[in-house]
C-alpha cells in the first residue's frame, strides 16, 4: 500500500481484540506514534472511559488527537507509573505497546533513521535526548561497537564493521548516513546488502534510544499498573525484544526482584516463589495475516503477545 500518512497501524484488529476494551475502562497506549491504534481505542470508549497516549517524540505530540476521553503524555514510557500517579490513576484495564520506530521516523530524512536518505546520524526518538548515533560511532570502543552490531543487528560481520568504523574515524568523524553506508556497504554480501544495512541502522537506533533497558522497565511498571483481568498487549519487531516480552509474560517480571524484596513481600511471593502474575492469552505469538503483509510490508517482522493480569 502506498501511503504518505504518519504510520499504518499494524495488527489493529488483533490489538483491539487483545485489549478487550470496555467502554468505561481506562487504557494506556504507550506508543502513540500516528495514533492509529489510539483513535480506534477511543471509538470504543463511552464518556466514562479514558485513554492515555504516551510518546517521547515531539512530532507524535504535534499530530496527536484532541478528545475529552484522551490525554497525551510526552514522555518515555519507562516513566508510566510516575505519570499515572500524577493523574491519580492507580490501576488500568489495558496497556498497549507497539514498539520501535514509526514509518514517520523512517520517512523523515533529517531524523537519520534510514539509509535511504543522506542526513546527519541522529536517530533519537526523543529530540531532547543526549545520545546520538554520531556520538556512539565516535565515542564507543571497537569492542562495544561490535557488541551492538552483533546483539542488536544479529550481523555476522559485526567485528569487521566495527573495525572499519574505527579505522575511518581515525581519519575523520563519521557524521552522515551516507558516510556510514559507504563504510559498511563493501562489507555486506551483495545479495543481502539492503537487509543487512537495515540491521546496521537498527542496531544503532536501539543503542541510541536504550530500547532494551526501557522495555524491561516498562513491562514491570505496566504489569503493576494492570488491575486483575487487565490486558497487556505488546507488539515487537526484533527477536531480542520478543524474547524479553515472552520471558516477562512467563515470569511476571523482567528485572529480577532483589532477594530482600522476595522474602519481605508476601503480596507478590508465595513461599519464596513468585506468584503467577500473567496469563498468556494468545498462547505464544500472533503474526500479521497474508493480506496485511501484502498491504503493509512494514508489518513483516511484527509479533504480537497478549497477557492477562491474574
Ligand X SMILES: C[S@@+](CC[C@H](N)C(=O)[O-])C[C@H]1O[C@@H](n2cnc3c(N)ncnc32)[C@H](O)[C@@H]1O
Instruction: Sort 105 into a burial class: Cβ within 10 Å, 0-12 / 13-18 / 19+.
Output: buried
User: Least distance to ligand X from the beta carbon of 215, Å?
Assistant: 8
Q: Which is nearer to ligand X, 158 or 296 (CB)?
A: 296
Using CA atoms, how far residue 2 sits from 8, 37, 100, 240, 297, in Å, is 10, 19, 21, 29, 10
**Interatomic CA distance for residues 244 and 215, integer angstroms:** 8
H-state helical runs in 209-268: 211-225, 239-251, 259-264
Stretch that binds ligand X, among 99-107, 133-141, 222-230, 285-293 (CB under 6 A): 99-107
**Binds ligand X by CB under 6 A, chosen from 18, 25, 33, 94:** 33
**Binds ligand X by CB under 6 A, chosen from 14, 41, 56, 136:** 56
Stretch that binds ligand X, among 30-38, 172-180, 184-192, 242-250 (CB under 6 A): 30-38
> Binders of ligand X: how many residues, by CB under 6 A?
21
Does 125 help bind ligand X (rule: CB under 6 A)?
A: yes
Does 34 help bind ligand X (rule: CB under 6 A)?
A: yes
| Whether the Cβ atoms of residue 278 and residue 245 lie closer than 8 Å to each other | no
Q: Which is nearer to ligand X, 10 or 183 (CB)?
A: 10
Q: Which is nearer to ligand X, 214 or 262 (CB)?
A: 214
User: Least distance to ligand X from the beta carbon of 159, Å?
Assistant: 29
User: Least distance to ligand X from the beta carbon of 70, Å?
Assistant: 14
Residues 159-218 that bind ligand X (CB under 6 A): 214
User: Least distance to ligand X from the beta carbon of 258, Å?
Assistant: 24
* Maximum pairwise Cα distance, the chain: 62
Give first-to-last CA distance, the chain, whole Å.
40
Q: Which is nearer to ligand X, 184 or 206 (CB)?
A: 206
**Interatomic CA distance for residues 196 and 123, integer angstroms:** 17
Q: What is the side-by-side order of every strand in the sheet holding 92-98?
A: 70-74, 50-55, 26-29, 92-98, 226-236, 303-309, 278-280
User: Least distance to ligand X from the beta carbon of 47, Å?
Assistant: 24
Residues 63-82 that bind ligand X (CB under 6 A): 76-77
Stretch that binds ligand X, among 17-25, 97-105, 194-202, 269-277 (CB under 6 A): 97-105
Stretch that binds ligand X, among 31-39, 42-50, 108-116, 288-296 (CB under 6 A): 31-39
- Own/partner long-range contacts of 255-259 (Cβ < 8 Å, ≥24 apart): 255/216, 255/217, 255/220
**Binds ligand X by CB under 6 A, chosen from 25, 42, 45, 55:** 55
Nine-digit cell at 75?
A: 514522555
| Whether the Cβ atoms of residue 196 and residue 60 lie closer than 8 Å to each other | no
Nearest to 149 by CA among 211, 214, 209, 205: 205
Residues that bind ligand X (CB under 6 A): 7, 9, 31, 33-37, 54-57, 60, 76-77, 98, 100-102, 125, 214
Amino acid at each position: 500500500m502506498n501511503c504518505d500518512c504518519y504510520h499504518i497501524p499494524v495488527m489493529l484488529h488483533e490489538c483491539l481484540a487483545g485489549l478487550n476494551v470496555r467502554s468505561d475502562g481506562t487504557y494506556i497506549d504507550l506508543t502513540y506514534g500516528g495514533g492509529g491504534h489510539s483513535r480506534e481505542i477511543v471509538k470504543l470508549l463511552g464518556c466514562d472511559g479514558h485513554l492515555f497516549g504516551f510518546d517521547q517524540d515531539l512530532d507524535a505530540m504535534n499530530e496527536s488527537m484532541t478528545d475529552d476521553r484522551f490525554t497525551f503524555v510526552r514522555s518515555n514510557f519507562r516513566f508510566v507509573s510516575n505519570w499515572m500517579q500524577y493523574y491519580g490513576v492507580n490501576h488500568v484495564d489495558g496497556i498497549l505497546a507497539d514498539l520501535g520506530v514509526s514509518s514517520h521516523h523512517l520517512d523523515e530524512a533529517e531524523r537519520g533513521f534510514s539509509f535511504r536518505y543522506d542526513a546527519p546520524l541522529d536517530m533519537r526518538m526523543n529530540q531532547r535526548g543526549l545520545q546520538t548515533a554520531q556520538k556512539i560511532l565516535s565515542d564507543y570502543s571497537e569492542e562495544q561497537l561490535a557488541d551492538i552490531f552483533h546483539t542488536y543487528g544479529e550481523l555476522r560481520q559485526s567485528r569487521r564493521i566495527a573495525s572499519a568504523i574505527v579505522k575511518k574515524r581515525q581519519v575523520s568523524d563519521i557524521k552522515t548516513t551516507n558516510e556510514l553506508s559507504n563504510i559498511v556497504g563493501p562489507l555486506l554480501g551483495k545479495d543481502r546488502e539492503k537487509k543487512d544495512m537495515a540491521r546496521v541502522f537498527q542496531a544503532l537506533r536501539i543503542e541510541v534510544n536504550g530500547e532494551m533497558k526501557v522495555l524491561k522497565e516498562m513491562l514491570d511498571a505496566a504489569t503493576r499498573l494492570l488491575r486483575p483481568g487487565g490486558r497487556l498487549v505488546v507488539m515487537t519487531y526484533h527477536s531480542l525484544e520478543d524474547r524479553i516480552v515472552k520471558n516477562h509474560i512467563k515470569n511476571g517480571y523482567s528485572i529480577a526482584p532483589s532477594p530482600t524484596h522476595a522474602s519481605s513481600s508476601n503480596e507478590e511471593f508465595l513461599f519464596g516463589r513468585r506468584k503467577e502474575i500473567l496469563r498468556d492469552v494468545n498462547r505464544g505469538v500472533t503474526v500479521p495475516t497474508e493480506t496485511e503483509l501484502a498491504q503493509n510490508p512494514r508489518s513483516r517482522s511484527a509479533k504480537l503477545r497478549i497477557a492477562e493480569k491474574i
